[in-house]
């Protein structure tokens, strides 16, 4: 049985929102107000609170992969996919594109806009590209790139003084410790981080270089640019990973219209 076998009754259709971001929360609130049924997938319990309590909204907690996604689609009666995941959550984005093609489901990538890079920012394509050069040598470096990348810096502690800012979770903390960061080199803090707090943290640790991701304004990218220029700190930005989306938008209105169009199909 394919997912579309469930949809002889159009009222049974649901949209899979790949969530976990502020953009997905805004979209789901709009769909809830329009009474458009959707199921939001998230990977952490803390992300549940992003979404409204509504009869038309379900929140599915867990990690989807090729082995589980088919039963998920069938269980939730999924008729379409809107991928509103983080720009760096490329694994789930690629899975959602692959799933849409396999099951012939309408698909839309709804992604937060990129921030225009100001003069003086160093741009690198990946962590590997960064570590292959000398951007960090001899610097006091603050890494704001998530815990998953920290293991790649394990052998770099003798070339720079490294600090890590991570989310306040046991998984992230353990990853930082495993990567060689002592308790005086870790700060666990959930975004958003204000310009005043960024300034205080960078000054407290005497940071000379900050490594961040092109996460957009929702990820505090613009705040880091402002603080870096104010303090004369070098900013290194890792490009968003490449994923080929069948259809993509930065517009909330377009994403809502895409979901509304399924009602008439």
Confidence tier at 120 by pLDDT (50, 70, 90): confident
pLDDT at res. 263: 73
pLDDT at res. 112: 84
Confidence tier at 218 by pLDDT (50, 70, 90): confident
The contacts of residue 27 (CB under 8 Å, 6+ apart) are: 17, 82, 84, 110, 252, 255, 256, 259
Tell me how crowded residue 153 is: count the other CB atoms within 10 A of its CB.
24
Residue 248 backbone zone (phi > 0: left; psi -120 to 50: alpha; other: beta):
beta
In the chain the beta strands, taken as DSSP E runs, fall at: 14-18, 38-42, 57-61, 78-83, 107-110, 122-124, 140-144, 161-166, 186-188, 209-213, 234-238, 248-249
- The values of phi and psi at residue 185, to 5°, are -120, 15
| Domains within the chain, CATH numbers bracketed | 3-113+243-264 (3.40.50.720), 122-238 (3.40.50.620)
6-39 pLDDT, tens digit each: 443 445 789 999 999 999 999 999 999 999 999 9
Both tokens assigned to 133:
């050069």
Tell me how crowded residue 225 is: count the other CB atoms within 10 A of its CB.
20
Handedness of CA 102, 106, 112, 113 (dihedral sign): positive
- 243 with 148: CB under 8 angstroms? no
């Amino acid at each position: 049985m394919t997912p579309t076998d469930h949809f002889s009754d159009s009222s049974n259709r649901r949209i899979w929102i790949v969530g976990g971001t502020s953009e997905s929360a805004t979209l789901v609130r709009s769909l809830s107000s329009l009474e458009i049924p959707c199921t939001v997938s998230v990977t952490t319990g803390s992300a549940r609170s992003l979404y409204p309590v509504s009869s038309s909204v379900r929140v599915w907690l867990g990690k989807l992969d090729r082995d589980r996604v088919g039963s998920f689609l069938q269980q939730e009666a999924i008729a379409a996919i809107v991928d509103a995941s983080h720009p760096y959550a490329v694994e789930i984005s690629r899975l959602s594109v692959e799933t849409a093609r396999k099951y012939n489901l309408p698909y839309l990538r709804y992604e937060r806009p990129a921030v225009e890079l100001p003069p003086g920012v160093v741009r690198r394509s990946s962590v590997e590209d960064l570590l292959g050069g000398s951007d960090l040598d001899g610097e006091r470096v603050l890494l704001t790139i998530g815990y998953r990348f920290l293991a790649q810096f394990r052998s770099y502690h003798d070339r720079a003084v490294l600090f890590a800012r991570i989310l306040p979770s046991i998984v992230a903390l353990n990853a930082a410790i495993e990567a060689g960061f002592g308790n005086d080199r870790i700060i666990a803090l959930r975004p958003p981080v204000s310009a005043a707090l960024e300034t205080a943290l960078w000054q407290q640790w005497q940071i000379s270089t900050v490594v961040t991701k092109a996460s957009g304004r929702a990820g505090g990218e613009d705040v880091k640019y402002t603080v870096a220029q104010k303090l004369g700190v070098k900013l290194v930005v890792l490009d968003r990973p490449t994923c080929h989306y069948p259809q993509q938008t930065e517009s909330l209105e377009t994403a809502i219209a895409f979901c509304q169009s399924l009602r008439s199909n």
